[in-house]
Amino acid sequence: MKQSISRGFILAAGFSLVLAGVLVGCQRRASSGTAGNPSSLKGTITYWYNQDWEDANKQLLDAFSKAYPNITVNATGFTYDTFIEKIRAAYSAGEESDVQQVFGDWASDLMKHKRLAQVPKDYAEQLKKRLFDTTLGGYTHEGVLYGVPKEYNIECGGVLYYPADLKKVGYNEFPKTFSELMDAAKKLTRYDTKGNPIHWGFDFMTTDNIPYLLLSFILQQNGSYWAADKIHVKFTTPEAQKALQAMADMVLKDKVTEIKHLSDTNNDASNYFFKGDSSMCFRGPWVIPVGTGEFELDNFAYGPMPSFTGASKAFAAESGWGEVVSAKTKNADSAWAFVRFISSPESHTLWTTVTNTIPSEKSVAESKEFLQSNPMIKVSLDVLPYGQPIGPLQSIDTFKSQIVVNNFTSLCTGGQDVATTLRKIEEETNKMIDEIRAQ
């Protein structure tokens, strides 16, 4: 998850013992020499991080300072909206911090221009065994690893829903097929006396979920959105046509959601759901604590998104948040000791538990400890093996928000048809790819 929405992460009382154990595990791991010998490393490093994850980052910083008393970490947090520009400006001026917490897509240009330090070979080999391949994709350039992902950024696979609402329309359990899902969504959508929707059956109106729903529908038909050269994209295919038509039908024909939700800057699609204005919402698992914490709800559940075809569960994902080290750092040993420490399995357990994100670490995703912290997250864990890297789109943010979402909006507001929309997505994406590759 990249874009910030209002959230009030509230840890359950039972988490305290779990997290305390994790911190102790981190310290023991450091003292055993896994992340370097604490007594032999000295110095000061700078670290920039995403302020949205303030609580988790602070806990890891505190644990590191206890394990490595001779290394000082001067840490500064930035809001998501300002962070990416800070990173770009700092690297352009040669004034970046020693270590940064970045989103996988942000690393693309930095790797290309050799601005990042390569992950030490021995550590890189360990990570390739420990972490999901999909998470490593955004931090890899020409076969070399340049960063350590903390999370598996998954926007597909799960649906928020109210069991009581489904029961009212004849579903005692979450729909198992896509046709059942659409049947339930249509029955759950309610209208006023003028025929305008006032309650939506299935919402997916976010800049993350529209693109990822499209890509998953294509992949689940055994299709591809990549051209033969694997550099450019191809969306003018029968699979893409069927996928986008299904999405357009949800808005224009069945009216189970509304495109105008995208322009509501005060409400994420999940907020509509938590306020009771929709019965089902296609969203990543990181919003679950918003419902249980900020909205204090205990009447919703998280179900597995049915396959579009009834067979494949394939989906695309980009690398999530993780750490990179500047190639210009003057204290590489301390910088990598810090990254190793906050990227250990124990640290990953803490970070993903507090942030409610999906672990990049296989052992954490498979642990009972992590699942117990949030039983609803099992839906997402079950589909992790079916994910694949989204691929070298050069600027995933541009692809999602400025190309796919803008064209989908034009489709849903009568500006263009499905075929034209797909052609424009293809043309605009390939133009963007070529422009960035030429830089």
Give DSSP secondary structure letters for 269-310. HHHHHHTTSBSEEE--GGGHHIIIIIS---S-EEEEPPPSSS
Beta-sheet pairing, 190-191 with 197-199: antiparallel
Q: Please give the pLDDT value at position 19.
A: 47
If asked whether residues 313 and 324 sit together in one domain, one would say no
**Any domain includes 10:** no
- Residue 287 sits in a domain whose CATH number is 3.40.190.10
Q: Are 436 and 415 in contact (CB under 8 A)?
A: no
pTM as predicted: 0.83
Residue 218 CA from chain centroid, whole number? 19
**Any domain includes 98:** yes
If asked whether residues 331 and 383 sit together in one domain, one would say yes
**Any domain includes 119:** yes
Tens digit of each residue's pLDDT (9 = 90 or more) over 399-410? 999 999 999 999
Domain that holds residue 69: 15-153+318-389
Beta-sheet pairing, 43-50 with 99-103: parallel
Q: Are 291 and 160 in contact (CB under 8 A)?
A: yes
If asked whether residues 133 and 257 sit together in one domain, one would say no
**Any domain includes 4:** no
Tens digit of each residue's pLDDT (9 = 90 or more) over 325-378? 999 999 999 999 999 999 999 999 899 888 878 899 999 988 887 788 778 889
If asked whether residues 330 and 214 sit together in one domain, one would say no
If asked whether residues 351 and 333 sit together in one domain, one would say yes
Q: Please give the pLDDT value at position 428.
A: 98
Q: Which of residues 374, 389, 404 is at a domain's end?
A: 389
**Any domain includes 423:** yes
Tens digit of each residue's pLDDT (9 = 90 or more) over 165-193? 999 999 999 999 999 999 999 999 999 99
| Local structure of residue 328 (DSSP, 8 states) | T
If asked whether residues 273 and 191 sit together in one domain, one would say yes
If asked whether residues 148 and 229 sit together in one domain, one would say no
If asked whether residues 62 and 111 sit together in one domain, one would say yes
**Any domain includes 218:** yes
Q: Other C-beta atoms within 10 Å of 147: how many?
A: 30
Q: Please give the pLDDT value at position 9.
A: 33
**Any domain includes 2:** no
If asked whether residues 178 and 137 sit together in one domain, one would say no
Q: Please give the pLDDT value at position 33.
A: 38
What span, in angstroms and rounded, lies between the C-alpha atoms of 348 and 57? 11
If asked whether residues 347 and 359 sit together in one domain, one would say yes
Judged by DSSP in three states, 403 sits in helix
Q: Other C-beta atoms within 10 Å of 102: how many?
A: 25
Tens digit of each residue's pLDDT (9 = 90 or more) over 125-171? 999 999 999 899 889 999 999 999 999 988 889 999 999 999 999 99
**Any domain includes 5:** no
Number of domains forming the structure of the chain? 2
Q: Please give the pLDDT value at position 313.
A: 95
Tens digit of each residue's pLDDT (9 = 90 or more) over 108-129? 889 988 999 999 999 999 999 9
If asked whether residues 172 and 217 sit together in one domain, one would say yes
pLDDT over 70 percentage in the chain: 91
Q: Please give the pLDDT value at position 369.
A: 78
If asked whether residues 212 and 355 sit together in one domain, one would say no
